[in-house]
Structure 1
Amino acid sequence: MPLITFKKAFLLSALALKSSATPTPSTHVSVSVNPKIRFQEVDGFGVSQAFQRAEDVFGKYGLSKVNQTHVLNLLYDKDIGAGFTILRNGIGSSNTSDSNFMNSIEPTDPGSPTAKPDYEWDHYNSAQFPLAEQAYSRDLQTLYANAWSAPGYMKTNDDENNGGYLCGVDNETCASGDWIQAYADYLVQYARFYKESGVEVTHLGFLNEPQFAASYAGMLSNGTQAADVIRVLAKTIKKSGLDLKITCCDGIGWDDQEAMMAGLEAGPDPAINYLDTVTGHGYDSAPTYPLSTKKKTWLTEWADLSGGYTPYTFYENGGVGEGMTWANHIQVAMRDAGTSAFLYWIGAENSTTNSALINLLVDEVVPSKRFWAFAQFSKFVRPGAYRVEASSSNANVTVSSFENENGKIATQLLNQLGVDVEVSVQIASLKSGVVIHPYLTNNEYDLEALNTFKSGKGGSFQARVPARSMISFVSA
């Protein structure tokens, strides 16, 4: 038989997936799943292609038409690829498209906050618009439009870059006046342009990492100042007739977002009442605990920005760009922080760094192990699923489990030990004879479909999980 077939057959034999007969393991782990105990609803998994990274997908650096389709399918087709369901667009604030700047829909200062704006729409939006069209034609369900900054003329520093505050928020005034309403109108107009062009923006955000005065587009804010904007934006959306959900505030770390919650909750008219989703990033601090809110929470940006290049490594030494590292980040965020969504920074870009899940090297497409770690979740845990109770007897063999709207249960086991483990899994309420589909990712395999088997009495089954590997068990 061919080598690859032999290797797969050998692996399947070694895993010894079965629903009966007790193995004789060197390390044994018991896993319990109870779908009757539910936690947060899942909205999905996704990426961004902001700052002109969408153009990379459409051949800016030589990606062929065939491979453009291949990348789009890897990102957004659940049958072919990861089936990401959330795309995070950048709402531009620049009057140029030089370098990787994102164009503003209002590049010219109208002169005052009450002057008539001169909006411009090119049906391209740094290639984000055609990307959204292609994503929606596959499995995209949520388009999150997020502004890094207001246009410079609306800010205290008269610059889209280097921090600065929106004119008119608490303790920040400008000679030109209060620009909060004009900024709200600007954000809503962006969504209106998309809708009129046939693409639906579902979520709208107006800040990105407001604790950080970056050299690129960005805007500073605390919770109280964000609340000033939210109240006006909510009224503007209601008046527009558009169906838009407001998000805030994409703090640079989970702790930074937590620090903003008091300001969002304060006052006789708490801004939190107008929010649909609270958003944060993982850079300064990871999402390891629930934020102080009853609203849904999303991890909307995080990546390995250290400059390394480890596309083929699921595990070597626990490095920041390795696939197992990101599988663990996702599992912890969903399980311990109760997030409803998890987004990596960039989906695909022409680079040899770890800032994307897929590296494009002119016309070569390299899905990283980070990508396959994401796919272990996104392919099988669909929007509308609920996280359910799951526990493991070994702290180094971690588990998460989700029940989809169609009743299919997806359980992820991450073996972080250096040895194979035998696991006994019991899924309460799962009938005997249900077909289980296992999928494996490790240094050697990428979401490899293993032999199916059937659950035993009481929804139980046994399996071997290789060292430093991840397996998703999905019920039929």
Structure 2
Amino acid sequence: MPLRTAILSVLLLPVHSPRHSSPPTVSVLVDANIQYQEVDGFGCSEAFQRAYDIFGKDGLSPENTNYVLDLMFSEERGAGFTILRNGIGSSNSSASNFMDSIEPFSPGSPSAQPHYIWNHNNSGQFPLAQQAYGRGLQTLYGNAWSAPGYMKTNNDENNGGYLCGVSNATCATGNWMQAYANYLVQWARFYEESGVKVTNIGFLNEPQLDVTYASMLSDGTQAAEFIRVLAKTIKASGLDLKINCCDGVGWQEQEAMLPGLQAGPDPAVNYLSVITGHGYSSVPNFTLSTHLKTWMTEWADLTGDYTPYTFYENGGPGEGLTWARNIQVAFVSANVSAFLYWEGAENSTSNSALINMIGNTVVPSKRFWAFAQFSKFARPGARRVEATSTDPLLTVSSFLNRDGNVAIQVISAATTVYTIDLQLKGSDGKSWVQPYLTDNAHNLTQLSPFQMSREGTFTTSIPALSMVSFVVA
């Protein structure tokens, strides 16, 4: 059976909840009158030439290319991701998985006329952005892992090094801060002139790490120095670009950069729109010390195990239930406004992507369906609202969308079926409830709808080790 047919047939299966003589009953309260952070969206990246995988580099057919794009970016036919993180390349080579630079070779000095190159491809990411926008993308985040090597203290895009000109980073070639700001703005201008809007731009990725691939070191003070230059350059360019910083390797590491961004008579934080961090070395389970929006912009299971079909087996790092909880905790405990996995799709038998492509076979993982349980129903502009449960084995989150619909996510870590008594306050007369189920046997399965009482209550069952999203409309 072709994969697409197989998946669609699963979506039509009825739910069979485990039998239990006396299911425990849990009370869930959702109050849409108590509102928290705004949702900007969910998404992924296809950096380091992964975009080429989607466009058939390893045998994916044009039909399945469209299928993968729909799975990721179509609200109607897939998860409806609205944020794409494109890498701003720094390499003078396309070998391996390097990302092309728009200025591959040094112009000679920071003040020399730059020699920019634009190929309308950008390591496959430009056509990907076009396709994503055509399916409902709202936010394109251009993020550089490093400045070109000739702008850095180590004269290498890889292996760390600092941007020439920031504190404690003096180079014989001079101060490259303005040239790097011009470089980033030109990258965004090339996109815009070619019909694709870049909304957000960032200049660092995991600046705590000195690694063998594209990387650049920075502390908060050094980042602040460059942000002031970048902000002035953007203003002079006339482009409408928001600045993100700093994609720390972990949430604690990003927190540690904030004092440098907030210090001085001209705090760099005043020029930022979003604080960004990753989940690798420390997870997003607390609110960062900032008034700005925060995004979790990269995290994945990089252990090497391949668990695409498992929602829950033993709580492993690649399982769907694990990622459902990661997302929920990030929104509820860390107050993030966006959550991005590392790669959306790649030709690989690992968990570093949400969707595996193997030749012409497409395998959406349970992680993907866990993401879709959130992203499909908590749309940009929604507000997270108060949601509580009386049992720690059933955790909840909820979002009030702009159209008045309320999305409620219930995640069960229990090994038996539970009954929930749910009360919804502030639903503005909404009464119909549409549930969707993901577990080991179901992938975003649409269950039978039912009507909520006039008092805003309903009682239903939650299968063991599952996630159910209730959309109240």
TM-score class, shorter: over 0.9
Q: Within 5 Å, give how 1:323-334 maps onto structure 2.
A: 323-334=320-331
Residue identity opposite 1:403 in structure 2: L
User: Aligned match of 2:77 in 80, 83, 94?
Assistant: 80
* Structure 1 CA distance for aligned equivalents of residues 124 and 457 of structure 2: 48
Measure, in 2, the Cα distance between the counterparts of 1:354 and 1:203: 27
1:452 aligns with 2:449: yes
Which of the numbers 317, 331, 335 marks the counterpart of 2:332?
335
Instruction: Provide the residue aligned with 1:38 in structure 2.
Output: 35
**Deviations 1:406-426 (CA, angstroms, capped at 9, x unpaired):** 000000000011111000110
Give 1:432 shift.
6.5
Q: Please, which of 292, 298, 308 is the counterpart of residue 295 of structure 1?
A: 292
User: Aligned partners of 2:467, 2:335: CA distance in 1, in Å?
Assistant: 21
Inter-partner Cα distance in structure 2 for 1:59 and 1:161: 28
Instruction: Say whether the 8 Å CA contact 1:205–1:249 is kept in structure 2.
Output: yes
Distance in structure 2 (CA, Å) of the matches to 1:349 and 1:256: 28
Matched residue type, 1:78: E
* Aligned position for 2:173: 176
- Taking a change above 3 Å as real, the CA distance of residues 429 and 15 of structure 1, as seen in their structure-2 partners, is farther
Change (3 A) 1:331 1:71: same
Give how far 1:457 is off. Answer: 2.9
Give the TM-score of the pair, scaled to structure 2: 0.96
1:171 CA drift (Å)? 1.2
Distance 1:475 1:7, change over 3 A: closer
Matched letter for residue 174 of structure 2 = G
Conserved 8 A contact 1:166-1:172: yes
Residues of 2 paired with 1:68 and 1:175: CA distance? 48
Could you tell me which residue of structure 2 aligns to residue 434 of structure 1? Answer: 431
> Is the Cα contact below 8 Å between 1:432 and 1:455 reproduced in 2?
no
Matched-pair contact (CA < 8 Å) for 1:431–1:459: no
Task: Identify unmatched segments of 5+ residues in structure 2.
Answer: 1-8
Q: Which runs of 4+ in 1 moved over 6 A?
A: 4-7
Superposed counterparts of 1:215-234, under 5 Å: 215-234=212-231
In structure 2, the partner of 1:160 is 157
**Residue 406 of structure 1 corresponds to which residue in structure 2?**
403
1:70 matched residue in structure 2: 67
- TM-superposition CA deviations, 1:189-223 (whole Å, max 9, x none): 00000000000000000000000001000100000
Select which of 100, 105, 111 maps to 1:103: 100
For 1:274, the aligned partner's letter is Y
Aligned residue in 1 for 2:468:
471
Contact 1:154–1:167 (8 Å) recurs in 2: yes
Q: 2:198 aligns with which of 189, 197, 201?
A: 201
What is the CA–CA distance in structure 1 between the aligned matches of 2:256 and 2:418, rounded to whole Å?
Answer: 41
Which residue identity lines up with residue 130 of structure 1 in the other structure? P
Match of 2:418 among 418, 421, 425: 421
Deviations 1:80-128 (A, max 9, x none): 0000000000000000000000000000101110001000000000110
The answer to whether the 8 Å contact 2:11/2:444 transfers is no
1:432·1:454 contact (CA, 8 Å) conserved in 2?
A: no
Question: In 2, distance between residues paired with 1:30 and 1:57?
Answer: 44
For 2:419, the aligned partner's letter is E
Asked whether the 8 Å contact 2:27–2:421 carries over to 1, the reply is: yes
Structure 1 vs Structure 2 CA RMSD: 1.5
Secondary structure at 2:455's aligned position in 1? helix
Q: Distance in 2 between matches of 1:431 and 1:371?
A: 32
What per-residue deviation string (whole Å, max 9, x for no partner) do you get for residues 156-204 of structure 1? Answer: 0000000000000011100101000000000000000000000000000
Q: Is the 8 A contact 2:143 2:201 kept in 1?
A: yes
Corresponding residue number in structure 2 for 1:246: 243
SS in 2 for 1:289: coil
Tell me, yes or no, if the aligned pair for 1:311 and 1:354 is still in contact at 8 Å. Answer: yes
Question: Structure 2 residue aligned with 1:348, among 335, 345, 348?
Answer: 345
Secondary structure of the corresponding residue to residue 346 of structure 1: strand
* TM-aligned CA distance change 1:79 to 1:345, over 3 Å: same
1:91 matched to 2:88: yes
The alignment status of 1:136 with 2:139, answered yes or no, reads no
Over 3 Å counting, the alpha-carbon distance change for 1:123 and 1:77 in structure 2 is same
Q: In structure 2, the residue corresponding to 1:474 is in which secondary structure? A: strand
Matched letter for residue 393 of structure 2: N
CA distance in 2, matches of 1:294, 1:437: 35
Q: Verify the 8 A CA contact 1:297 1:338 in the aligned structure 2.
A: yes
How far apart in 2 are the matches of 1:302 and 1:185?
29
1:173 is paired with a residue whose SS is coil
Match of 2:365 among 363, 368, 389: 368
| C-alpha spacing 1:6/1:440, structure 2 compared with 1 (3 Å) | closer
Q: Which runs of 5+ in 1 are unaligned?
A: 17-22
Shift of 1:431: 5.9
Structure 1 residues 24 and 262: alpha-carbon distance in aligned structure 2, compared to 1, 3 A threshold: same
Equivalent of 1:51 in 33, 48, 51: 48
1:458 deviates by 1.6
Residues 15, 447 of structure 2: 8 Å contact kept: no
Deviation at 1:25, TM superposition (A): 4.0
Q: CA deviation at 1:434?
A: 1.1
Shift of 1:15: 8.4
Residue type at the aligned position of 1:85: T
For residue 19 of structure 1, what is the aligned residue in structure 2? none
Is the 1:436–1:474 Cα contact (8 Å) retained in structure 2? yes
How far does residue 271 in structure 1 lie from its aligned partner after superposition?
0.2
Aligned-partner residue type, residue 211 of structure 1: Q
Inter-partner Cα distance in structure 2 for 1:299 and 1:358: 19
Question: For the residues of structure 2 that align with 1:376 and 1:6, how far apart are their CA atoms?
Answer: 13
How far apart, in 1, do the equivalents of 2:421 and 2:429 lie? 15
Distance apart, 1:429 and its partner CA: 2.3
TM-score by length of 1: 0.96
Where 1:458 maps in the other structure, the secondary structure is coil
Would the alpha carbon gap of residues 449 and 257 (structure 1) be closer, same or farther in structure 2, given more than 3 Å must change? same
Number of matched pairs: 465
2:6 maps to what in 1?
none
Alignment-mate amino acid for residue 273 of structure 2 = D
